[in-house]
Chains A and B, each alone.
Chain A
């Protein structure tokens, strides 16, 4: 072994030593430096409230009045699923405003990490539909923990060209139909699936926590598993599979059929005879929110009619401000599965009844086991 050999090796790698060192040192210096560049731009941003939400809600359209007051949008931190978000907050991440949904309210409140919202600081509070905030576990001394923002329904989106109902009424039974074995999708989160299975199994929501109901729902889900192609938490997976025909029916939220129809896919959002599951999501304020006043401004902006117009028109979700619906004609609203008097839909819908943390843990663990085949 001699030096000549090693140098030949180097050449075989086609790199001259000097070149290599030169480029490496340049590379090294610039790489180590890069995170420092462009950091100063956020000096102003540090004063803005931080809103922790789903990707898609991090847009200026939602915060018109906030931008007027404070010059720019709030800071955004985004997540793909609200459970991950809660995990992150519980691990110590502090934000001003976060975006959970109704079935999770008691659990989010139980963490002790949130404070009630001062509605006197919200100019739009008067117009908020009361059915949306008078939820179990949400109100403390007349103040809400979660200010409702968007609401909608969980039901079945199915391909009208691939599913023949044979004149029968739409029903949750579609997702248990042997005919479509291997062509159906479910939401992986028990927050949706467990409750919808309860509707299918005819379990009364007020008795959800009983052993009998628990077994009945688990049995229904276990029976359904062999028919299911995939369980997933992201709507995109379900929508893509519906668009390609891989799935003929899937449990989704009501924005999915809106987008799918816009793409020319022949789908329908079922109105099951047993009733659809109604959900409502909204804004909560962290107990250590560093920008408490601006946090209220963020929420107030979300409640404005302009924001509502965007939410209904662009996403097909309901808005919590009753006045927002006046911006649309009855036909437009009906096409979206909404109504000019939102209370009608809300009173007909089935709201989840919040349960204890022990129940939530048992339910989620059981559903994880069922999905895994046990």
Chain B
């Protein structure tokens, strides 16, 4: 294994083991790509079969048009035309990006110190802490939404509390059925998705590097900026994307707590497949959304790479 940087011992494999089978194995082993694909094949096959067919169907559908209950399967760009020209889709998409972006940033900012705390300051029962942070998510999402309504509602916990303290006279209406409510609920719902990747990347940082930095006279802040942060960036990048991308496609949360102003692009996509009954348009909107997301993700990764280079 690891032929490219083999250690001294690797050369001393006994001659007797080099049978024909072993030689074939050597050929196989010498091609990194081949070995890589062999290892990757189960995952790749499942995902290709499970994803690419539906994806292809969706792409094809986006070029079709709905006529009453029938779908006209001749090629047409009508859907893309109306997706781009209609201001409503653009507005909904921008709102979704803003809500999900805020949500991803807030979640990561809140979760990083938490993951850091568990990775570096908890020495016993780390797993207990990690599990503790995922437990609240084993109660159904719908129930948690009910819970948030109790907290954020017109006469909910926060409003009653602030009123009894004399801070406000009228309940704060923006707490529920608003984009704010969507952000709060999503930050709560996706917390575990930020903590786990960040924790994992912090956990694997070699402690000796930190000690070495300390020995070289770095203060805590410098050590964090020069060692910990750059090394944990893969986790942070992963966490941001893992939250940002799927939340753009969420329609349940905006439908339940978003109110009229919290409606997102996925609600429109969902409506096209349901009430509006225009599947091709729904597919088109989804493709447009995916293209925008892909562009954002690529730019984002490029930027973070540059940032990482700059830090180190």
Give the CA-CA distance A14 to B156 in the complex, in Å.
42
Residues of chain B within 8 A (CB-CB) of A38 are none
Residues of chain B within 8 A (CB-CB) of A92 are none
Which residue of chain B is the closest to A109 with respect to CB atoms? B69
Which residue of chain A is the closest to B150 with respect to CB atoms? A244
Stretch at the interface among B12-20, B219-227, B254-262: B254-262
Residues of chain B within 8 A (CB-CB) of A368 are 268, 271, 275-276
Interchain CB contact (< 8 A) of A371 among B91, B127, B154, B260: B260
Report if A225 contacts B (CB, 8 A): yes
Residues of chain A within 8 A (CB-CB) of B256 are 232, 237
Interchain CB contact (< 8 A) of A5 among B66, B206, B261: B206
Judge whether B154 and A15 touch: CB under 8 Å. no
Judge whether A107 and B260 touch: CB under 8 Å. no
Give the CA-CA distance A9 to B177 in the complex, in Å.
46
Judge whether B88 and A364 touch: CB under 8 Å. no
Give the CA-CA distance A191 to B125 in the complex, in Å.
55
Judge whether B68 and A358 touch: CB under 8 Å. yes
Residues of chain A within 8 A (CB-CB) of B177 are 229-230
Which residue of chain A is the closest to B263 with respect to CB atoms? A372
Q: Beyond A230-B177, A244-B155, is A364–B271 a contact (Cβ under 8 Å)?
A: yes
Judge whether B69 and A225 touch: CB under 8 Å. no
Give the CA-CA distance A15 to B124 in the complex, in Å.
11
Task: Report B80-124 CB contacts with A as 1/0, cut-off 8 Å.
Answer: 000000011001100000000000000000000000000000011
Task: Report A314-341 CB contacts with B as 1/0, cut-off 8 Å.
Answer: 0000000000000000000000000000
Residues of chain B within 8 A (CB-CB) of A107 are 69, 277
Give the CA-CA distance A295 to B125 in the complex, in Å.
57
Judge whether A244 and B153 touch: CB under 8 Å. yes
Residues of chain A within 8 A (CB-CB) of B255 are 188, 232-233
Within 8 A of B (CB), among A145-200: 182-183, 188-191
- Shortest distance between the CB of B93 and any CB in chain A (Å): 11
Report if A130 contacts B (CB, 8 A): no
Report if B23 contacts A (CB, 8 A): no
Judge whether B268 and A361 touch: CB under 8 Å. no
Report if A369 contacts B (CB, 8 A): yes
Judge whether B127 and A14 touch: CB under 8 Å. yes
Give the CA-CA distance A357 to B66 in the complex, in Å.
11
Judge whether A369 and B68 touch: CB under 8 Å. no
Judge whether B260 and A13 touch: CB under 8 Å. no
Judge whether B206 and A365 touch: CB under 8 Å. no
Judge whether B275 and A245 touch: CB under 8 Å. no
Question: How many interface residues does A have (CB within 8 Å)?
Answer: 47
Q: Beyond A230-B177, A368-B268, is A361–B260 a contact (Cβ under 8 Å)?
A: no
Tell me the number of A-to-B contacts counted with CB atoms below 8 Å: 97
Residues of chain A within 8 A (CB-CB) of B87 are 374
Within 8 A of B (CB), among A337-360: 356-358, 360
Residues of chain B within 8 A (CB-CB) of A356 are 68
Which residue of chain A is the closest to B68 with respect to CB atoms? A357
Which residue of chain A is the closest to B209 with respect to CB atoms? A1
Judge whether A87 and B274 touch: CB under 8 Å. yes
Within 8 A of B (CB), among A201-238: 225, 228-233, 237
Interchain CB contact (< 8 A) of A374 among B88, B153, B156, B274: B88
Within 8 A of A (CB), among B208-264: 208, 255-256, 259-261, 263
Give the CA-CA distance A9 to B68 in the complex, in Å.
63
Judge whether B276 and A230 touch: CB under 8 Å. no
Q: Beyond A13-B126, A14-B125, A228-B260, is A1–B206 a contact (Cβ under 8 Å)?
A: yes
Interchain CB contact (< 8 A) of A360 among B173, B263, B277: B277
Report if B185 contacts A (CB, 8 A): no
Give the CA-CA distance A105 to B54 in the complex, in Å.
30
Judge whether B68 and A110 touch: CB under 8 Å. yes
Judge whether B268 and A81 touch: CB under 8 Å. no
Report if B201 contacts A (CB, 8 A): no
Judge whether A110 and B69 touch: CB under 8 Å. yes
Which residue of chain B is the closest to A366 with respect to CB atoms? B276
Task: Report A1-42 CB contacts with B as 1/0, cut-off 8 Å.
Answer: 100010001001111000000000000000000000000000
- Shortest distance between the CB of B71 and any CB in chain A (Å): 10
- Shortest distance between the CB of B180 and any CB in chain A (Å): 14
Residues of chain A within 8 A (CB-CB) of B193 are none
Report if A111 contacts B (CB, 8 A): yes
Interchain CB contact (< 8 A) of B124 among A9, A14, A87: A14
Interchain CB contact (< 8 A) of B260 among A84, A225, A240, A357: A225
Q: Beyond A87-B273, A356-B68, A372-B268, is A246–B154 a contact (Cβ under 8 Å)?
A: yes
Give the CA-CA distance A371 to B267 in the complex, in Å.
11
Report if A262 contacts B (CB, 8 A): no
Residues of chain B within 8 A (CB-CB) of A87 are 273-274
Interface residues of chain A, those whose CB is within 8 Å of chain B, are 1, 5, 9, 12-15, 81, 83-84, 86-87, 107, 110-111, 182-183, 188-191, 225, 228-233, 237, 240-241, 244-246, 356-358, 360-361, 364-365, 368-369, 371-374
* 19 CB-based A-B contacts, threshold 8 Å: A13-B203, A14-B126, A107-B69, A110-B68, A190-B275, A230-B260, A232-B255, A233-B255, A241-B153, A244-B153, A245-B154, A246-B153, A246-B155, A246-B176, A361-B66, A364-B271, A368-B268, A368-B276, A372-B88
Interface residues of chain B, those whose CB is within 8 Å of chain A, are 66, 68-69, 87-88, 91-92, 123-127, 146, 149, 153-156, 173, 176-177, 203-204, 206-208, 255-256, 259-261, 263, 267-268, 271, 273-278
6 pairs of A and B residues whose beta carbons are closest in the complex: A83-B274, A246-B154, A357-B68, A364-B275, A364-B276, A374-B88
